Amino acid sequence: MFYPQSIEEIQRVVVESHAPMVVRGGGTKPGLLNHNDSVTTIDLSDVSGILEYRPEECTFTALAGTRLNDIEEVLSDNDQWMPFDPPMVDKGSTLGGVLAAGLSGPCRYGFGGVRDFVLGISWVSGDGNLLNGGGRVVKNVAGFDFPKLMVGSLGRFGIITEITMKVFPQSQAFATLEWDCLNIEEAVKFMKLLSLSKIEFLALDIESNGIVRVRIGGIQNSLQKRLDSIARYKNGAVIFKDREESEKWSSLRNFCWLDDSCMLIKVPITPDIVCRLDSKLSHYEALRLYSVGGNVAWIGWMDSIVKLDKILENLGLTGLLLLGEYNTPWLGTSAFDNVFAAKVKAALDPKNRFMSL
Amino acid sequence: MSKSFLDKLKDIVTDEQVLTAHSELIPYESDGLTAFKALPRAVVLPNKQSEVISIVRLCHEHSVPFVARGSGTSLSGGSLPNERGIVIGLNRLNSILDLNIEERYAVVECGVINNDVSEASKHYGLHYAPDPSSQLVCTIGGNVAFNSGGAHCLKHGMTSNHVLGIKAVLPDGTVVQIGGHSLDSVGPDLVGLFVGSEGLFGIALEIILRLVPMPEGFRTLLAAYPSMEQAGDAVSSIIDAGLLPTAMEIMDNLTIKAVEATVHAGYPTDAGAVLIVELEGEIVEIEEEFKCLRKIIYESGAYNVTSANNQNERALIWKGRKGAFGALGKISPAYIVQDGVVPRSQLGSALAEIDSLSEKYGIRVANVFHAGDGNLHPNVLFNNSDEEMLEKAELLASEIVQMCIRRGGVITGEHGVGMEKREFMNDMFSDKDMDQMLILTDIIDPHQIANNDKVFSRSRVPGI
Ligand SMILES: Cc1cc2nc3c(=O)[nH]c(=O)nc-3n(C[C@H](O)[C@H](O)[C@H](O)COP(=O)(O)OP(=O)(O)OC[C@H]3O[C@@H](n4cnc5c(N)ncnc54)[C@H](O)[C@@H]3O)c2cc1C
């Protein structure tokens, strides 16, 4: 394991070490480090710090190993935040980690994901060069969009060292409503109805037991009126505000609902597959949360991971193993087993200095 | 053109679909950037995806360069033909293949017009959010190639933020499907890389677009300021106050006068600048935001504020903005639409710098821009029958780009690099960054045929 202290040291380590190399950020997602081969691990936790924060521009630039809770603190002093709602912040996850893993939280529903907020990126390539893509301003179409490409790449094109992100002003106030729809079928129906409404939900989640949960945010003065009209959509709404409300989402984002022994898997889905997937998973010991309006399944899995791998494959889905052990972090059908991906890999990592896709 | 290539092309499509006569080629000789002109050897107009794929394979086999073309509204020379190759006109691939309301996505062919997606989904209360001013004519394929923006992308984002999946034919003829129907994904964001690749990675055939509900309401206002600087500062104050309008647009006096002379939108012609701000969302929410907005606007030195009270008044405010480019055509025989980005807080001083450049060259510059994200569109007005003036106009336009870079901005915010900005790429990226982009292009397009003379300046392939 290497612990470089600077970008120059990363470059040196890359040149000198044996391939393939694997990067570790805050270590909150050990499942992503799963592989069969013997590898060189490079830990980036010392390459951290916010390099530039410009509240008036709604942008910041930070080193990849910077902890997200440090960033959140600085942003909130200026009433700003990262609306893609990064998960596992309280557990110590880093900016580079969340970007390389391509993870966004519940408010991805209302604002977009980490891919929609990344503006610029620097990375160390397999031959030790420091490369850049994107820029530092909020709008830019010059050159190829390498910043987006790196999202979800798990560091398999290079070692991400520096990231520029866009941020938004924080809402003045938030509130949450929950309904118990009794079962997943009813919950999905209700979720679809809400997702076609004119209400600007920040988050729209459902649980396998039929709970539907929505979050709104905005100006304090209008919040109660909005709550009242949303509550009319269906009887039985339970309303959460203030601290209780923010803690609820924070515990969801930090996966406090998982047992320690649980594996954690993210699966991108579409709303129409929720019921089918849920009925398959219900035969096993599995916790299921469907987030982002039925576009992301978070699965807490306690059975054999081989079984889940098969289930996902049969449904044509791809999963990402965040917590748990296996021979690969990618489960189910490959989402990027195509010529384009292969060409991109060949261009960015011609000598296979990093793990293969 | 070698006989065998043309013959083979006609084996794929009917004779009617291959244009070779000089008079037929003329309409394709340039795009929205008319300063560049080139005649292709032929234009082929495929009717279906399978034809596009076969044409690309044929080009690859014969190393014949091709340029994909949607509606040719590119303002950077992106769809300028290659003299040694062919143009593949994609307007006939214009089917909306699937409109899934419950799941909120549309699957469209690349030649579908941007606005037609919103038209098709509006009945269900949904729309396709990115709205370039050219939305009535430009194609989704062109939008994908350039990652096009629009007045409302301040809140909604650009094309890239709304594309979920792409079926494409790569320059070597391979067909790939990247991304999918979900909002989220696992693995590297290949869709993100493809969008904005300016046609260098091949042709997007089919695109999966995200649809979003139409907002419940809008609040739109037009504020007149004595100076551009004050209008620019107002934009910063709005952001500082924590508001997130969907659009913030500024126009200068020259543009206002041109607009008033043509479309009569009711803009005060004595204003140094007008600022349009639009809020959208739930009505109770935007009413509160609007109170806050009005307060900021009055405190920022606006001397004349008009709020739209209904859809007609809103349309009138936007009529001026949307008609701005056309109106400039009435006050100048020709103009260069520049596109650059500066950090938002530098808007005021950047505009002052443009003013002094305009004075230095003795050439008028009319400013219309997406102020919310610092995206400038200085329009350099000139007389195209005056060679010397054209040269000066080009110099002035290029000084503006250099200013953007110097201020920590970028060379293009939405119109792309195309032909026009190739020489500026090196000012933004290091040699190593450029090498990485070229290596990627060469691996994806080993015969260097897909719009290959765009974005980067490099030697041309022989072609036909
Ligand atoms: C009056 C006016 C207003 C405009 N306003 C805006 C604006 O507000 N915001 C903005 O961003 N732009 C704007 N533009 C620029 C232009 O409309 C956009 O760049 C648009 O996306 C181009 O679409 P098109 O169909 O005309 O593409 P074309 O000009 O035909 O092509 C553009 C590029 O895309 C490539 N291409 C086309 N189809 C495909 C495909 N299927 N696959 C791969 N590559 C392809 C071409 O090779 C070319 O490089 C404006 C232009 C005009 C003339």
Q: What is the ipTM of this complex?
A: 0.97
Interface test with A, best of B101, B182, B407 (most A CBs within 10 A): B182
CATH class of the B96-213 domain in this structure: alpha beta
Inform me whether the pLDDT recorded for B463 exceeds 80. no
Q: Tell me: the pLDDT tens digits for A221-256?
A: 999 999 999 999 999 999 999 999 999 999 999 999
Identify the pLDDT of residue A336. Answer: 85
Same fold for the domain at A173-253 and the one at A263-332?
yes
Indicate yes or no: CB of B192 within 8 angstroms of CB of A115.
yes
Q: Quick one: average pLDDT of A72-100?
A: 96
Four-way CATH pick for A7-169: 3.20.20.150, 3.30.465.10, 3.40.50.1220, 3.40.50.720: 3.30.465.10
The CATH architecture to which A263-332 belongs is 2-Layer Sandwich (3.30)
User: What does the alpha-carbon distance between residue A322 and residue A318 come to, in Å, rounded to a whole number?
Assistant: 13
User: What does the alpha-carbon distance between residue B86 and residue B72 come to, in Å, rounded to a whole number?
Assistant: 14
Identify the pLDDT of residue B34. Answer: 87
B150 lines ligand 1 (CB under 6 A): yes
Q: Quick one: average pLDDT of A74-91?
A: 96
Q: Tell me: the pLDDT tens digits for B422-449?
A: 999 999 999 999 999 999 999 999 999 9
A20 upstream amide cis, omega within 30 of 0: yes
| Chain A residues with beta carbon closer than 8 angstroms to that of B196 | 141, 144-145
Q: What is the pairing mode between strands B304-307 and B203-210?
A: unpaired
Domain ranges for chain A: 7-169, 173-253, 263-332
Is residue B301 classed exposed, middle or buried when 0-12, 13-18 and 19+ CB atoms within 10 A define those classes?
Answer: middle
Q: Tell me: the pLDDT tens digits for A160-186?
A: 999 999 999 999 999 999 999 999 999
B278, B292, B294: which is closest to B150 by C-alpha? B278
Identify the pLDDT of residue B419. Answer: 94
Identify the pLDDT of residue A19. Answer: 81
Identify the pLDDT of residue B273. Answer: 95
N-terminal to C-terminal alpha carbon distance within chain B: 5
Strands of chain A, DSSP E: 21-24, 40-43, 50-54, 59-63, 80-81, 118-124, 130-134, 159-166, 168-169, 173-180, 203-207, 211-218, 238-241, 263-268, 286-291, 296-301, 318-323, 330-332
Atom of ligand 1 nearest to the CA of B110: 41
Identify the pLDDT of residue A203. Answer: 98
Is residue B237 classed exposed, middle or buried when 0-12, 13-18 and 19+ CB atoms within 10 A define those classes?
Answer: middle
Identify the pLDDT of residue B384. Answer: 86
Inform me whether the pLDDT recorded for B3 exceeds 70. no
Asked whether A15 and A128 are in contact (CB, 8 A), the reply is yes
Q: Tell me: the pLDDT tens digits for B22-37?
A: 999 999 999 999 889 9
Q: What's the pLDDT band for B459 if we cut at 50, 70, 90?
A: low
Q: What's the CATH code, domain B3-89?
A: 3.30.43.10
Q: Quick one: average pLDDT of B384-390?
A: 91
User: What does the alpha-carbon distance between residue B280 and residue B236 come to, in Å, rounded to a whole number?
Assistant: 19
Q: What's the pLDDT band for A33 if we cut at 50, 70, 90?
A: confident
Asked whether B249 and B238 are in contact (CB, 8 A), the reply is no
Q: Quick one: average pLDDT of B64-83?
A: 97
Q: Quick one: average pLDDT of B216-221?
A: 96
Asked whether A347 and A157 are in contact (CB, 8 A), the reply is no
Task: Measure B179 CA to nearest chain A CA, in Å.
Answer: 8
Q: Who contacts A72 (Cβ-Cβ below 8 Å, separation ≥6)? A: A81, A82, A89
DSSP letters along B84-116, please?
A: TSEEEE-TT---EEEEETTTTEEEEETTSBHHH
Identify the pLDDT of residue B461. Answer: 52
| Chain A residues with beta carbon closer than 8 angstroms to that of B178 | 336, 338, 340-341
Q: Quick one: average pLDDT of A104-108?
A: 97
Same fold for the domain at B217-326 and the one at B332-406?
yes
Task: Measure B326 CA to nearest chain A CA, in Å.
Answer: 24
| Chain A residues with beta carbon closer than 8 angstroms to that of B201 | 340
N-terminal to C-terminal alpha carbon distance within chain A: 22
CATH class of the B217-326 domain in this structure: alpha beta
State the CB neighbour count (10 A cutoff) for residue B297. 21
Task: Count Cα neighbours of A25 within 13 Å in the Cβ-side half-sphere.
Answer: 30
Inform me whether the pLDDT recorded for A35 exceeds 80. no
Nearest CA in chain B to A145: B193
Q: Quick one: average pLDDT of B155-179?
A: 97
Identify the pLDDT of residue B1. Answer: 52
Q: How far, in Å, are A108, A211, B164, B184, B236 from residue A336 at the CA level? A: 22, 33, 14, 14, 42
Containing H/E element for B394? helix B387-406
Identify the pLDDT of residue A344. Answer: 98
* Percent of the residues in chain B that have a pLDDT greater than 90, as a whole number: 91
Q: What's the pLDDT band for B462 if we cut at 50, 70, 90?
A: low
Q: Quick one: average pLDDT of B237-255?
A: 94
Identify the pLDDT of residue B464. Answer: 56
Inform me whether the pLDDT recorded for B2 exceeds 80. no
| Chain B residues with beta carbon closer than 8 angstroms to that of A343 | 170, 440, 443-444
Q: What's the CATH code, domain A173-253?
A: 3.30.70
Q: Residue A18 — φ and ψ, nearest 5°?
A: -85, 145
Provide the β-strand partners of residue B220: B278
Asked whether A10 and A45 are in contact (CB, 8 A), the reply is no
Domain ranges for chain B: 3-89, 96-213, 217-326, 332-406, 421-443+456-464
Contact of B243 with chain A, judged by CB distance below 8 Å, is answered with: yes
User: What does the alpha-carbon distance between residue A120 and residue A133 come to, in Å, rounded to a whole number?
Assistant: 6
Identify the pLDDT of residue A340. Answer: 98
State the CB neighbour count (10 A cutoff) for residue A274. 23
Inform me whether the pLDDT recorded for B380 exceeds 80. yes
B90 lines ligand 1 (CB under 6 A): yes
Instruction: Give the closest residue (by CA) to ligand 1 atom 21.
Output: B143
Identify the pLDDT of residue B175. Answer: 98
B138 lines ligand 1 (CB under 6 A): yes
Indicate yes or no: CB of A142 within 8 angstroms of CB of B160.
no
Ligand 1 centroid from CA B146, angstroms: 6
Instruction: Give the amino acid at A85.
Output: D
How far is CA B74 from its chain centroid? 7
Q: Secondary structure of B211-253 in the HEC alphabet?
A: CEECCCEEEEEEEEECCHHHHHHHHHHHHHCCCCCCEEEEEEH
Identify the pLDDT of residue A45. Answer: 94
Four-way CATH pick for B332-406: 3.30.70.100, 3.30.365.10, 3.30.70.2740, 3.20.170.30: 3.30.70.2740
Ligand 1 centroid from CA B95, angstroms: 18
B147 lines ligand 1 (CB under 6 A): no
Q: What's the pLDDT band for B174 if we cut at 50, 70, 90?
A: very high
Average model confidence (pLDDT) for chain A?
A: 95
B368 lines ligand 1 (CB under 6 A): no
Asked whether B164 and B181 are in contact (CB, 8 A), the reply is yes
Atom of ligand 1 nearest to the CA of B140: 25
Instruction: Give the amino acid at B119.
Output: E
Inform me whether the pLDDT recorded for B348 exceeds 90. no
